[in-house]
Amino acid sequence: MKLAPIVLAVLVPAFLVSARADEGMWLFSSPPLGKIQAAYGFQPDDAWLNHLMKASVRFNSGGSGSFVSGDGLVITNHHVGLDSLQKVSDSRRNYARDGFYAQTAAEEIKCLDLELNVLQSTEDVTARVNAAIPAGASGDEAASARRRVTAQVEKESHDGTGLRSDVVTLYEGGAYHLYRYKRYTDIRLVFAPDQQAAFFGGDPDNFEYPRFDLDICIFRVYENGQPVHPEHFLKWSVRGAQDGDPVFVSGHPGRTERLLTVAELEFLRDTSFPYALHMLKRREVLLGAWGARSDENSRRARDDFFGYQNSRKVYDGMLAGLQSPAFMKAKEAAEEALKRQLSAKADGTEALAAYGKIAAAQRVITRDYLRHRLLEGPLDYLPHGFCSESFNIARRLLRAGDERPKPDGERLPEYSDARRESFEFDLFSDRPIYADFEILCLGDSLTDLTERLGYGDPTVKAVLGGKSPRARAAELILGTKVGDVAFRRRLYAGGAPAVLAAHDPMIELARLVDVESRALRKTREAQDEIMRQAQAAIGKARFEVEGTSTYPDATFTLRLSYGAVRGYEEDGTAVPSMTTMAGLFQRSEEHRGHEPFDLASRWLEAKQALNLRTPLNFVSTCDIIGGNSGSPTVNRQGEFVGIIFDGNIQSLTEDQAYDDVQSRALSVHSAGILEALRKVYGASALADELVSGRR
């Protein structure tokens, strides 16, 4: 109800004034040292930056974390660890709901398919990548050439270093950097609080502030059967963050759209975001109703339900921002101002023409958008018309059989040699697949596919095979064998002939739509390449006009943000920067302990022992977005003072614009974590390890 007015107040100034003092998700290779010095009288040196970089961790399930002990402890959010918590739970032991604590190494639970990445180095490969694109190449030709050179660069790096090697597009195609990561795949669960403490206040308090959440989850990283002993881990600050302190966030923001043109923003407003909201709201209702039928249903659906619920709120906020006439007018004015500057320059012709190329490419993307999302989906995501883990596995097996015989540079990127280890690690995971949940999700997504494309659509008719969506889903899920890891290994090893000979119904469904879905992907990639080259031309011109001291849009790669612990004013009322344990109990009592403001008995029993003045959550002006969940918040000494877990509701527009007036990043306080571990969860040994850095 109050989101739209807030969006108007926040977004307009962000494009009418220069960048805010604390704005930016900066590359570690290009930190804004002068800006930090000017704002906070502190300038990180190379050793400080390298230490923080190598103590930071990326969760490939989506999120961030950090090493916090010399014996391999990694901390992230409960909601980042929720996927793993759910997979190691069962009908008898619900660790996601009830929490978990391994008092000994023997009790630590190995996660099924969790991969962590730690960035070791980056290298600018822009010149090599661009040199491989023939002059005058069409979008399709350029995309193929870029794919070949990218695969070559990644393979050379992986073969030479043994590190995961990813070429990352920055500045919308203005630069290409090679990121090298140390991979860890033996990850074991050490501690998780009960979910009610981690997500206290539930959906009503989600993206709100003040908050009172213990949104943490702690793992231990192993290698060769032993805990790793990282050279770089963050020293734990017992005192933690204080009001007014400068703080820094090191994490992996997923994506932003701050450098997009007006044409691209109009596409998000009119096509992409409305589509996403329809899907998210549909799935939220579906899983909410199914989960309410039993505790076991709720456990199985919890991670997906939470994700849909959270994303729905995010997209509501982002769409409200783009639907603001004031915001779009400000964006249009900024774009027209840059165009006028370019038209006055002798070499501004290419950049001016780039705007038209982007608009034309967006029209093609819009034309195919619905079918692309339903039948192919974006890279690394399920097509929305086939929402099923079984379909995901089946399509991977099918495409692996087709792609692996090709030269490395001609394959789809996810099947390249450089990414093979991560691909196989995920494909052969023994994670649980529940037939009833699969039928529910696939049946609903086939229904959505039918509704959106029409019952008479030839692809829809072929997919349904004369059955209703629900009946077809049941037939497919109950008939497929892709849930059997041994079956997957046999087909993967045997390649296309083995996949074809299997006659598996789910694989045959994937084959049925594969020609069209590949064609849609090829068209989309060609248009993306056109826009990438056009954005590079605009970016180059913008740098010449406005200077090069800027940051690229987020790409789920490591970034540095900075700011200060600072409250704000809302509706004429001062909102303090910190909440306390006392506030947690007060919030629960205000709602008479009713869900979702209830507290587990262990919290009620521990109340008298707790220091109720201990800080629990705090806010800062650091620039964050989705993907930063679990990021460490550190002080100028590089000490761990908190962990990012959310933004407030005013921050929901930060995909397109940053503002420091009310927008805030939310962290769990390091002192609050220790207090809860010692006095609520009986985990003093774990707290001692965090403080001392050793087990």
DSSP state string for 183-220:
EE-EEEEEEE--HHHHTTTHHHHTT-SS------EEEE
Q: When comparing pLDDT for 653 and 495, which is higher? A: 495
| Confidence check: pLDDT of 268 > 70 | yes
Give the pLDDT of residue 485. Answer: 98
Q: How far apart are CA 276 and CA 322, in angstroms?
A: 14
pLDDT (tens digit per residue) in 91-140: 999 999 999 999 999 999 999 999 999 999 999 999 999 999 999 999 99
| Confidence check: pLDDT of 13 > 80 | no
- Strand, coil or helix: 655: coil
pLDDT (tens digit per residue) in 191-245: 999 999 999 999 999 999 999 999 999 999 999 999 999 999 999 999 999 999 9
Q: When comparing pLDDT for 512 and 548, which is higher? A: 512
* Best CA proximity match to 119, nearest among 64, 171, 75: 64
Q: Residue length, the chain?
A: 695
- Strand, coil or helix: 634: strand
Reading the block at residue 517, the tokens are: 């879905």
Q: What is the mean pLDDT of the chain?
A: 94
pLDDT (tens digit per residue) in 525-543: 999 999 999 998 998 887 7
Average pLDDT over residues 243-258: 96
| Confidence check: pLDDT of 573 > 60 | yes
Give the pLDDT of residue 332. Answer: 96
Burial zone of 219 (CB within 10 Å; 0-12 exposed, 13-18 middle, 19+ buried): buried
Q: How far apart are CA 93 and CA 295, in angstroms?
A: 12
Beta-strand runs (E) in 462-566: 559-564
pLDDT (tens digit per residue) in 24-77: 999 999 999 999 999 999 999 999 999 999 999 999 989 999 999 999 999 999
Confidence of residue 546 (pLDDT cuts 50, 70, 90): low
**Beta-carbon neighbour count of residue 344 at 10 Å?**
9
pLDDT (tens digit per residue) in 135-179: 999 999 999 999 999 999 999 999 999 999 999 999 888 899 999
Q: Count Cβ neighbours within 10 Å for each residue of 438-467 and write b for 16 or more, e otherwise.
A: bbbbbbbbbbbbbebbeeeeebbeebbeee
Reading the block at residue 361, the tokens are: 């490419």
| Confidence check: pLDDT of 15 > 70 | no
Reading the block at residue 486, the tokens are: 């041994």
Give the pLDDT of residue 380. Answer: 61
| Confidence check: pLDDT of 349 > 80 | yes
Give the pLDDT of residue 10. Answer: 33
Residue 600 is given by DSSP the state: -
Could you give the percent of the chain with pLDDT greater than 90?
Answer: 90
Reading the block at residue 170, the tokens are: 């920055």
Give the pLDDT of residue 187. Answer: 98
pLDDT (tens digit per residue) in 577-616: 999 999 999 999 999 999 999 999 999 999 999 999 999 9
pLDDT (tens digit per residue) in 307-331: 999 999 999 999 998 999 999 999 9
Give the pLDDT of residue 20. Answer: 55
**Beta-carbon neighbour count of residue 58 at 10 Å?**
23
Give the pLDDT of residue 260. Answer: 93
Average pLDDT over residues 485-496: 98
**Beta-carbon neighbour count of residue 277 at 10 Å?**
17
Q: Count Cβ neighbours within 10 Å for each residue of 231-245 and write b for 16 or more, e otherwise.
A: ebbbbbbeebbbeeb
Helix H, strand E, coil C: the string for 430-473 is: CCCCCHHHHHHHHHHHHHHHHHHHCCCCHHHHHHHCCCCHHHHH
Instruction: For tokens 């906070």, name the residue.
Output: 40
Reading the block at residue 60, the tokens are: 């490939």
| Confidence check: pLDDT of 1 > 80 | no
Confidence of residue 544 (pLDDT cuts 50, 70, 90): confident
Give the pLDDT of residue 3. Answer: 30
Quick check: 431 and 112 in contact, CB under 8 A?
A: yes
Confidence of residue 547 (pLDDT cuts 50, 70, 90): low
Reading the block at residue 360, the tokens are: 């034309």
Give the pLDDT of residue 549. Answer: 66
Task: Name the amino acid, one letter, at 142.
Answer: A
Q: How far apart are CA 374 and CA 56, in angstroms?
A: 35
